[in-house]
């Protein structure tokens, strides 16, 4: 299944890691020592695409230094096909029937 993504695409994992680090610096994360959120936004690997690439989905709160996002296609696994129910109709029977 192919999905259009609006964001930033990187050919190397190191470039995506660097950009993620810039977001952490920009947002001053973590704000307190007890905070558990280190990465406000993370990158994803488009492992089903050839060549493999990494990307960060655009968010309106990104700093202007990130530049204009682009739209690109990412391949995801197809969702599993539903198995029909015992009655063969694929519907969940009403309780008590």
Pick from 3-7, 23-27, 80-84, 92-96 the range whose average pLDDT is largest: 3-7
The answer to whether residue 95 is domain-embedded is no
The answer to whether residue 57 is domain-embedded is yes
Say how far apart CA 60 and CA 38 lie, in whole Å: 19
41 in Cβ contact with 61 (< 8 Å) = no
The answer to whether residue 91 is domain-embedded is no
Say how far apart CA 50 and CA 41 lie, in whole Å: 24
pLDDT band at 62; cut points 50, 70, 90? confident
Range of the domain at 60: 2-75
The answer to whether residue 47 is domain-embedded is yes
56 in Cβ contact with 8 (< 8 Å) = yes
Order of all β-strands in the sheet with 53-57: 44-46, 53-57, 2-10, 70-75
If one counts the domains in the chain, the total is: 1
The answer to whether residue 20 is domain-embedded is yes
The answer to whether residue 25 is domain-embedded is yes
Report the Cα–Cα distance between both ends of the chain, in Å, rounded: 37
What is the model's pLDDT at position 59? Answer: 86
Say how far apart CA 23 and CA 81 lie, in whole Å: 38
pTM of structure: 0.70
The answer to whether residue 19 is domain-embedded is yes
The answer to whether residue 83 is domain-embedded is no
């Amino acid at each position: 299944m192919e999905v259009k993504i609006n964001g930033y695409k990187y050919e190397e994992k190191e470039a995506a890691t660097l950009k993620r680090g810039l977001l952490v610096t920009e947002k001053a994360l973590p704000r307190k020592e007890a905070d558990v959120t280190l990465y406000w936004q993370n990158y994803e690997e488009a492992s089903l695409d050839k060549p493999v690439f990494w990307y960060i989905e655009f968010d309106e709160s990104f700093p202007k230094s990130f530049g204009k996002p682009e739209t690109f296609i990412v391949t995801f696994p197809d969702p599993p096909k539903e198995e029909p129910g015992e009655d063969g109709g694929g519907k969940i029977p009403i309780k008590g029937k």
